[in-house]
Structure 1
């Protein structure tokens, strides 16, 4: 069941003109980590029409949002955070919300983690 693999992409850090530390998503600044032993399943699909841009009842564009739920194998807790991006099957996806750690009921250690990732086009 845990035969999928994803690549966690984490932004580096750079200083902006105001002296603030901000994420740096440039190719040379990001770090990548291959995460194995996960299960990826479809989670959500939505199509949204945005007529506010055209000023008419006809939508100016349609946005499609697709999501997947990721669950790690029992006994694993991959290093994935809400601010990360995920590469999977040629797609670049965003982690949606927080990464949930599920506790082992027998000893309280991390049993596995779950999170959702999504892709929006439009």
Structure 2
């Protein structure tokens, strides 16, 4: 394995709950969240940061997750991932890069809101 993919983390997958109108929505309460270990990933800053200072100081930082060649973590656009003490949200669809023998790796845009 390349030294580029030595990070590991935990995929955080929300449970579901129903609101008073009967709509299903994500449940991020600690007891409802499924924790799925993942390794052989690389998470690095991507896309810079932006600040919103209108109501309070908020910094949004973009990140990029790439899995090692030959791996396909079950990461979904509704998930979050915890890596190196950061909790990052998946933004948009997870890119799955196919090759004739199957999926070669995944890529996902993430964001950290602090």
What range is the shorter-chain TM-score in? 0.7 to 0.9
Q: Counterpart of 1:37?
A: 40
Deviation for aligned residue 1:80: 0.5
Find out whether 1:2 has 2:2 as its counterpart.
Answer: no
Decide which of 86, 90, 94 is 1:91's aligned counterpart: 86
Q: Superposed, which structure 2 residues align to 1:1-122 within 5 Å?
A: 1-51=4-54, 61-104=56-99, 107=100, 109-121=102-114
Please, what TM-score do these two structures have when normalized by structure 1?
A: 0.82
| Cα RMSD, aligned residues only | 1.5
Conserved 8 A contact 1:8-1:35: yes
Structure with greater Cα Rg: 1
Aligned residues: 111
- Structure 1 stretches lacking a partner, 5+ long: 52-59
Please, what TM-score do these two structures have when normalized by structure 2?
A: 0.87
- Structure 2 stretches lacking a partner, 5+ long: none
Deviation for aligned residue 1:93: 1.2
Instruction: Give distance in 1, aligned partners of 2:89 and 2:74.
Output: 15
